[in-house]
Amino acid sequence: MKKIWAHVIVAALSVLIFVGCAGLKSKVPPGAVPRPETAGSAKVKPPVLTREEAILRAKQIAGVSYTLWFGLDRDNPDFEGRLVAIFELRNRPKDLAHGLFIDFDGGRIHSLKLNGNALEIGPERYNGRRVFFKGSEIQPGMNRAEISFGHSYGTTELGLNRFVDPQDQNVYIFSNIDAQGAQFVFPCFDQPDLRASFELTVETPDNWTVITNTKERENVRVDGRMSWAFPPSSKLSTSVFALHAGPYSFKKSDADGIPLRIFIRKSEQARLSLLTNAKEWFELTRRGLEFFDLNFAYPYPYSKYDQVFLPELETGTIAGAGAVAFSEKYLFGGQPAALPKARALDQERADLIFHQLSHMWFGNLVTPRWWNSLWLYEGIADFMATWAQSGEGAVMSGNAEQIWARFLREKKRKAYDHDRIEGQKPLEIPVAEADGPRAGLGSGDTGKITAILKQLRFYMGEDEFRDGLQRFFIKSAIRNAGIAEFLKAMGEASGEGLAGWQRAWLQTTGVNTLRADWKCEQQEVTWKRKTKIISKISEFRLLQSGGVVLRPHRTEIALFDLDSGARKLRPRETLAISYSGAETQVRALVGKKCPDFIFPNYNDHDYVRVELEPRALNFAQQNVSRFAEPLMRQLLLTTLWDSFIDKQLSAAQYFDFAMAFLREEKDPGLVDWTLETLAGPEAAGPLLNSFGPAEFSRLGTFLLRSYKATASGSELHAIWREKLLKAPPQVLASPELAKEAARLFQLK
């Protein structure tokens, strides 16, 4: 499971920022001081854990538990620890031919005992990364390793980090643990399928609070310091271990008996209360817990849920079991809540909270067996976060339509663009080394996984999909599982195996194109002795093309009539249908009254590029504003933009269409997106490249007029303003427009 949100991704066609869990992160950030080689470390370090080593070690031992003591204080650049690791040798002596090792990266070992025998610590024993035991030193049955160790703090890298608050000089310690980060904190078998219970005692300065995976059993004062004792955790992967300490302020609440706490450093406490963000944050957390409890049919797996805000968390978030961490920037959102765009920020916040919360099930309760399943867990968390905002009983600010419209323009579009580039990797790829998973998850992948899971949910049916999730948790809770277990549970729930689906969707790349091909013919109808000529559908086919392979899809076809009397266009009828080959006859629609418009991916369940034939394209250009549902308008907008990119529409046609559309549209997300295609510094490139001075002047005039026409202080006003200020210089190049812009924005 990946707990990294390394990059803030600006979607090409939107300025609404969102944070993806899909970034790449190097172990040591640029500018950071590399960890020093420590006593006993060899010059050349062995490679990180390989899959083969992990498989072997999981055969060697089982039944692991760690009892840990940590001594933390404010001024020391190092921390000290003591570990008792209990593990059981499995009955396979041949697996011990090369001994056994414990991971501990960059630390110092002060003393080491195995089963009561003190062992010498030379380079053969500890090479700076691994503590080695010979096969002959391990006894049958239970073994007990006692290690006294030390390690330096980092600043923002993997391991335990130390932060000095410049406002009040308070010191905060926080863990940043990734696929293989626990080994920077204490010696452990650092691989996901050697789950273990952790029982901690942490000694700190008097006024500190300690947060880890369980809730403290007691905290007592000993010689002017505080000793925090925690009960043993459930069996966790080392990658979800968490340890944060410092003079934190906190707020607490409750969700149906589950204690909720939010921690923040002292100097930011006032801001937290002032913005009443804690209340809102708790409320979203409660809604998320309720939604996931219901849909996963597996109760929240930990004894409490802590959310800790950290000042210097460059990875953005960490989903420790029962203790997640967020960068402080997410709490404050970069701007006060009263400003326009607050709604978009609210959605980002909901995304963020639900994403981390869903990792308590997907990632922590069930953990990937190996890192090549990471994409699945990230994608599921992203899908769940979107579903939780749009699903029944958990509707957030904005309805389901708007949530999925936003997903389409901000993430799914990007996934399509990536997926169409030749040489892209499919989602399922082997990851040889533990450090490799980041290389397997590209920035477009999260959106693709979410989109494909949305497609799978529709392909299976929502009840069956939910049933599949429940089966998955019943089988895999407190275990490790990958795509095979996930799809097995889903396949059982759907009543058919998903092997073909898996091959087509997860092991190939490329986007299929879908076109609805239909004909109407006039028919004479006699009713109550009157004869009328009406037009009926005489033939209807779905045509699939493109992509590396044609895939099994399920989609929803919608039929629209202009003459339905209503001002807004809603489908007269819809039809859910599966298709797989190049051509699928849709007999259920033959004989229906001929509609004015047909869209073959209504509600955007399908992962496919829709191509409209000329008369449908023309209809879409003329009528987008009349479609009632924002998701439908967004689907048509993206289809029209694609048609321009594919040269079915000329630049002039797209330009005219977009200006006409913007005169009518009031949905901020849609306005923002369309404006970006007209005047975004990068996104509008394909359009603006064909413009001469006359077109630029027309565009500039239009933008300025529209800006002046929107109500000051509104969200739309802010969007137009931002677009004008960021537009390429040619847009406001003419002297009159430049003068007008300078007057409006008081530019010098």
Give, to the nearest 10 degrees, the angle between helix 499-506 and helix 445-460. 150
Q: Which is nearer to Zn ion, 18 or 69 (CB)?
A: 18
- Restricting to residues 28-67, name those near Zn ion by CB under 5 A: none
CA angle 69, 75, 78 (to 5 degrees): 50
Min. distance of Cβ 319 from Zn ion in angstroms?
A: 6
Q: Which is nearer to Zn ion, 22 or 68 (CB)?
A: 22
Q: Which is nearer to Zn ion, 41 or 480 (CB)?
A: 480
Write the single-letter amino acid at 619: F
Using DSSP bridges, classify how beta strands 17-19 and 8-10 pair: parallel, antiparallel or unpaired. antiparallel
Min. distance of Cβ 686 from Zn ion in angstroms?
A: 33
Q: How far apart are CA 456 and CA 477, in angstroms?
A: 22
Q: Which is nearer to Zn ion, 21 or 460 (CB)?
A: 21
Q: Which is nearer to Zn ion, 21 or 594 (CB)?
A: 21
Which part of the chain contacts Zn ion (CB under 5 A), choosing from 13-21, 85-93, 235-243, 395-403?
A: 13-21
Closest CA to 428 of 488, 375, 382, 379: 375
Q: Which is nearer to Zn ion, 386 or 706 (CB)?
A: 386
Q: Print the binding letters for residues 255-294 with Zn ion: x by CB under 5 A, - otherwise.
A: ----------------------------------------
Min. distance of Cβ 376 from Zn ion in angstroms?
A: 11
Min. distance of Cβ 175 from Zn ion in angstroms?
A: 17
Q: How far apart are CA 204 and CA 199, in angstroms?
A: 16
DSSP state of 409: I
Q: Which is nearer to Zn ion, 112 or 240 (CB)?
A: 240
Q: Which is nearer to Zn ion, 378 or 445 (CB)?
A: 378
Min. distance of Cβ 13 from Zn ion in angstroms?
A: 24
Min. distance of Cβ 366 from Zn ion in angstroms?
A: 14
Beta strands in 218-270 (DSSP E): 218-222, 225-229, 243-246, 249-255, 258-264
Min. distance of Cβ 290 from Zn ion in angstroms?
A: 20
Min. distance of Cβ 321 from Zn ion in angstroms?
A: 13
**576 three-class SS:** strand
List the 583-585 sheet strands across, edge first: 583-585, 530-545, 513-527, 609-610
* C-alpha 178 chain-centroid distance: 15
Min. distance of Cβ 327 from Zn ion in angstroms?
A: 14
Min. distance of Cβ 163 from Zn ion in angstroms?
A: 23
- Count Cβ neighbours within 10 Å for each residue of 34-71 and write b for 16 or more, e otherwise: ebeebebbeeeeeebbebebbebbbebbebbbbbbbbb
Which part of the chain contacts Zn ion (CB under 5 A), choosing from 18-26, 129-137, 390-398, 664-672?
A: 18-26
Min. distance of Cβ 410 from Zn ion in angstroms?
A: 17
Q: Which is nearer to Zn ion, 72 or 374 (CB)?
A: 374
Write the single-letter amino acid at 414: K
Q: Determine whether 134 is exposed, middle or buried from the number of CB atoms within 10 Å of its CB (0-12, 13-18, 19+).
A: middle
Q: Which is nearer to Zn ion, 53 or 378 (CB)?
A: 378
# residues contacting Zn ion (CB under 5 A): 3
Which residues, in sequence order, are CB contacts of 665 under 8 Å at separation 6+?
A: 625, 633, 671, 674
Min. distance of Cβ 382 from Zn ion in angstroms?
A: 7
Which part of the chain contacts Zn ion (CB under 5 A), choosing from 20-28, 129-137, 536-544, 706-714?
A: 20-28
* Helical H segments across 420-541, by residue range: 437-440, 445-460, 462-476, 483-494, 499-506
Min. distance of Cβ 7 from Zn ion in angstroms?
A: 13
Sequential DSSP letters for 88-141: EE-S-GGGGTT-EEEE-TT-EEEEEEETTEE---STTTB-SSEEEE-GGGSPSE
Q: How far apart are CA 351 and CA 385, in angstroms?
A: 5
Q: How far apart are CA 638 and CA 683, in angstroms?
A: 13
Residue nearest to Zn ion (CB): 21
Q: Is 6 in the site for Zn ion (CB under 5 A)?
A: no
66 forms beta bridges with: 85, 198
Which part of the chain contacts Zn ion (CB under 5 A), choosing from 15-23, 491-499, 554-562, 713-721?
A: 15-23
Q: Which is nearer to Zn ion, 236 or 381 (CB)?
A: 381
Q: Which is nearer to Zn ion, 199 or 445 (CB)?
A: 445
Min. distance of Cβ 703 from Zn ion in angstroms?
A: 38
Q: Which is nearer to Zn ion, 356 or 643 (CB)?
A: 356
Q: Is 102 in the site for Zn ion (CB under 5 A)?
A: no
Min. distance of Cβ 362 from Zn ion in angstroms?
A: 9
Instruction: Tell me how far apart the terminal alpha carbons of the chain are, to the nearest angstrom.
Output: 50
Q: Which is nearer to Zn ion, 354 or 707 (CB)?
A: 354
Min. distance of Cβ 446 from Zn ion in angstroms?
A: 8
- Restricting to residues 543-602, name those near Zn ion by CB under 5 A: none
Q: How far apart are CA 260 and CA 662, in angstroms?
A: 44
Q: How far apart are CA 278 and CA 55, in angstroms?
A: 44
Give, to the nearest 10 degrees, the angle between helix 483-494 and helix 499-506. 130
Q: How far apart are CA 341 and CA 362, in angstroms?
A: 31
Which part of the chain contacts Zn ion (CB under 5 A), choosing from 14-22, 143-151, 290-298, 470-478?
A: 14-22
Which part of the chain contacts Zn ion (CB under 5 A), choosing from 17-25, 275-283, 294-302, 598-606?
A: 17-25
**163 three-class SS:** strand
Q: Print the binding letters for residues 366-405 with Zn ion: x by CB under 5 A, - otherwise.
A: ------------x--x------------------------
CA angle 556, 514, 406 (to 5 degrees): 60
**144 three-class SS:** strand
Q: Which is nearer to Zn ion, 4 or 679 (CB)?
A: 4
Q: How far apart are CA 530 and CA 538, in angstroms?
A: 23
Min. distance of Cβ 352 from Zn ion in angstroms?
A: 10
Q: Which is nearer to Zn ion, 364 or 494 (CB)?
A: 364
Q: Which is nearer to Zn ion, 203 or 378 (CB)?
A: 378
Q: Determine whether 120 is exposed, middle or buried from the number of CB atoms within 10 Å of its CB (0-12, 13-18, 19+).
A: exposed
Q: Is 21 in the site for Zn ion (CB under 5 A)?
A: yes
Q: How far apart are CA 197 and CA 178, in angstroms?
A: 18
* Alpha-carbon distance values, 227 to 175, 206, 224, 339, 712 (Å): 19, 9, 10, 44, 57
Query: Which residues in this chain contact Zn ion in the complex, by CB under 5 A?
Result: 21, 378, 381
